[in-house]
Structure 1
Amino acid sequence: MTDGHPLIVPVNGLSTHAWVRGRGKPVVIVPGLGCASWMYARLARELARERQVFVYDPPGHGYSEGRAGYPVCISHLTDHLAAWMTRVNLRSAPLLGHSLGGEVIIDLAGRYPHLSGPLIACAPTGIPENPSVRMQLLRLLRDLPRERPGLLLPGLKAYAHCGARRMILLARDQEDHMTGPLLGQVRVPTLLLDGLSDPVIRSWTVRRIQADIPGAVIRQIPGAPHGLTDTHPRAVAAFALEFLRELNM
């Protein structure tokens, strides 16, 4: 990222990084599996036209520290996000999560309702579709040619930093993590963004998630692959900002 500034704070003994950009009311971007803050620069730029954007790096991702055995499950990611939001005084801030980040913010809203603001989940993983790790990899390979070529090197850098072992363990945890009752515990306004060219998270999956979260709404983005936050940042930001303006948040 070429503008903004880093925010680095200790959280549970780990140096935790976020990139901060823009002014105004806050919104927090939570990356997907293996992803890093620098992969969301295009979206952050669009959101920063109206918001102060915090692009958070989960532990073991991006510029944030991890440990050999942490994080290795989704509850680790959720608990750390909750601790970080408390540490930097972002309680009740709107959360925008991509892919696994969408699952994490939904988990946070169910388990830490006092911390969560409105949710914007872009191509969220989770119930009811939890494919095997092998199937997830095959879908990601199908998705790869649809992504912006300029994301390839930043993505490879992020995955190498996160490490294959951590990514596999987190992906495996998706198979048993989310449940219908947990989704039903979400009590904050929720927007689900569905990329219509996404082979990883299908539209029917997004509709099923919508059915389990009270009052959730869906907006669709034609031509968007799984990495819709990078390929279609203006559309994602437009839907997100409109959603937050309607809530006066």
Structure 2
Amino acid sequence: MNRDVVDRPTGSPRRTSVGRFGPADLRLAMAAPRPAGGLTSEWRLVDGLRTHTRRSADPVNGAPPVVLVHGLAVSHRYLTPLAVALSSTHQVYVPDLPGFGLSAHPRGAYDVRRHAEHLAAWLAAYQLPPVCLLGHSFGAEVAAALAATHPDAVRALVLAGPTSDPAARSRRAQFGRWLVDIPREAPLQAPILVRDVWNARPWRVLATLSHSVRNAIEADLVQVGVPTVVVTGDRDPVVPHLWRNKATRLVPAATVVVVPGAAHNVVTTAPTAVADAIRHLLAPRPTSTDR
């Protein structure tokens, strides 16, 4: 990557290339709970809820673990390509948030804060060291809240396609942007979305969307104190460039990566580019004694 661009908190975004999502990716994404692609499933009781996690094998290089947090209406499934792309160098965990994927259903739909607290309890249950935390879409709201309220648990933060833009902070506006995004996405992602909405139930999806548009993510972004990268596709109508740039400026130590050709689900269709951004974020920086 061009460090003159990526290492600056502000300025021109780093641009990289997009991948694809094909039949083999779909089969891998839908495999859980069966082992596939080096990923396995396990469940742990977290705050009284049986919580599912898709995870990779433990690497032997001592690299920090990476935790991937899914977005609204979906689950670990669409993050599988990124988990596989990272698994050669990092221990990767992809938990299903309460009520989504293969995790148990709580009585109601959790808001951002409650999801963040559940995720903090999940980290404690796994006894992980400070992690690199990636949140996509609504998951970026949860990740930002966790990084702001539990800074000791987070080593680095990746906000991929973070919602919700204050210029479209209503259910109707967000839904309208998603409708624009759908034809820009790889068609084979559709079976994943159908399966995930069925698992979560439509009422939970709508209730969580209501929580999302009432969440002022800006208040959390300004409290993030760890190295951060904001990743978006350049064809993402849910996170247009004005909001992407504003979100990046709000975080004291943030850079931006833009993936040409990718839409909102950049973590699914461009997993190699996103994995490279994570590895760059976690790469050791030279100290004054190294120069």
Q: TM-score range by the shorter chain?
A: over 0.9
Larger Rg: 2
Q: Give 1:91 deviation, angstroms.
A: 4.1
Residue identity matched to 2:67: V
1:195 aligns with 2:230: no
- The one-character-per-residue Cα deviations of 1:39-93 (angstroms, maximum 9, x if unpaired) are 111111111121111111101011111222142x111211110110111112411
Residue identity matched to 2:107: A
Of the candidates 222, 231, 235, which is equivalent to residue 260 of structure 2?
A: 222
1:153 aligns with 2:188: no
Q: Give 1:174 deviation, angstroms.
A: 2.1
1:204 aligns with 2:245: no
The residue number in structure 2 matching 1:67 is: 106
- The one-character-per-residue Cα deviations of 1:117-163 (angstroms, maximum 9, x if unpaired) are 20011101146445211111111111111111221101110011112
The higher relative CO (CA closer than 8 Å, separation ≥ 6) is in 2
Q: Give 1:179 deviation, angstroms.
A: 4.9
Alignment map for 1:1-249 (pairs within 5 Å): 1=28, 2=36, 3-24=38-59, 25=63, 26-71=65-110, 73-126=111-164, 128-246=166-284
1-structure distance, mates of 2:178, 2:268: 15
- The one-character-per-residue Cα deviations of 1:152-184 (angstroms, maximum 9, x if unpaired) are 101110011112211112211222312534321
Preserved contact between residue 137 and residue 162 of structure 2 (Cα < 8 Å) = yes
Preserved contact between residue 160 and residue 230 of structure 2 (Cα < 8 Å) = yes
Residue identity matched to 2:86: L
Give percent identity, aligned residues only. 31
Q: Give 1:200 deviation, angstroms.
A: 0.8
Cα root mean square deviation, aligned? 1.6
Partner SS for 1:5: strand
Partner SS for 2:155: coil
Partner SS for 2:42: strand
2-structure distance, mates of 1:179, 1:233: 25
Partner SS for 1:34: coil
In the comparison of the two structures, how many residue pairs are matched?
247
Preserved contact between residue 127 and residue 180 of structure 1 (Cα < 8 Å) = no
Please, which moves more after superposition, 22-31 or 52-61?
22-31
TM-score (norm 1): 0.94
Alpha carbons of structure 1 residues 179 and 123: separation in structure 2 relative to 1, 3 Å: closer
Structure 1 stretches lacking a partner, 5+ long: none
Preserved contact between residue 128 and residue 208 of structure 1 (Cα < 8 Å) = no
